[in-house]
Amino acid sequence: EDQVTQSPEALRLQEGESSSLNCSYTVSGLRGLFWYRQDPGKGPEFLFTLYSAGEEKEKERLKATLTKKESFLHITAPKPEDSATYLCAVQAYEIDGQNFVFGPGTRLSVLP
Amino acid sequence: DGGITQSPKYLFRKEGQNVTLSCEQNLNHDAMYWYRQDPGQGLRLIYYSQIVNDFQKGDIAEGYSVSREKKESFPLTVTSAQKNPTAFYLCASQRGQGYNSPLHFGNGTRLTVT
């Protein structure tokens, strides 16, 4: 079964149009939830780690929040350079070893 | 600047040939990982290593092999036994053996097998 899902699969925004991306997970005993940004042909770039429900992290136009079963990545007044695929990943007690479980990503396009 | 270097960026091979992908890190990280990325799927773990001379299979290890002779290096060999090797391969490292620290990724190798 899918342990980490992301929605929507793709999102197209106009510059300045704020929105949110969702990451839902079914694992219990969460150790950490991680957000990454990935540009085409590049490796993922680390953005945030969230450890417990209620936690929030911010960086420029991005804000990540965490509840018991999902995380949101809020994008405020996005710019075209925010266009990328955003990945989330979880680590949990029930996952063997050092295995992170990644979601399939949300492909964000911000139009000028 | 510290980071993870993967080479080459693009690799083309004929079916039936083994090929080795390079991954080097100068972050002094203990743990290293290999992932495979296919369109529409999450990253899938191939192998990981927490210390030198030790490594564990991930979810899709069949047809792949690795070595960890030095802390800085974690090469991946894609063997002819891998049924569908064409993919984007990502190497990552992690600071410690404990949980909670993020993965740091290289910029990947795109392998095409024809």
**Alpha-carbon gap, residue A62 to A71, rounded angstroms:** 13
CB contact under 8 A, B42 and A104: yes
| Cβ-contact B76, B26 below 8 angstroms | no
What are residue A23's DSSP bridge partners? A6, A71
CB B95 within 8 A of CB B38: no
Output the CA–CA distances (angstroms, integers) from residue B97 to A1, B32, B49, B51, B108, in the order listed: 27, 10, 9, 8, 23
B78 part of contact set with chain A, CB < 8 Å: no
Q: What is the pLDDT of residues A27-81, one digit of tens each?
A: 878 889 999 999 999 999 999 999 999 999 999 999 999 998 999 999 999 999 9
Q: What is the pLDDT of residues B49-76, one digit of tens each?
A: 989 999 999 989 999 999 999 999 999 9
Confidence of residue A99 (pLDDT cuts 50, 70, 90): confident
Residue of chain B with shortest Cα separation from A93: B99
How many angstroms separate the CA atoms of B72 and B47, rounded? Answer: 16
Dihedrals phi, psi of A82, to nearest 5 degrees:
-85, -5
SS3 B104: strand
Question: Is A82 in a helix, a strand, or coil?
Answer: helix
Closest-CA residue in chain B for A30? B100
Pairing of strands B10-13, B109-113: parallel
Look at the block and give the residue holding tokens 């450890």: A51
Looking at chain B from residue 6 to 45, which residues have their Cβ under 8 Å from any Cβ of chain A? Answer: 6, 31, 33, 35, 40-45
- Residue B73 DSSP label: B
Handedness of CA B47, B86, B24, B76 (dihedral sign): positive
Task: Give per-residue pLDDT as tens, B4-13.
Answer: 999 999 999 9
Distance CA B109, CA A69 (A): 33
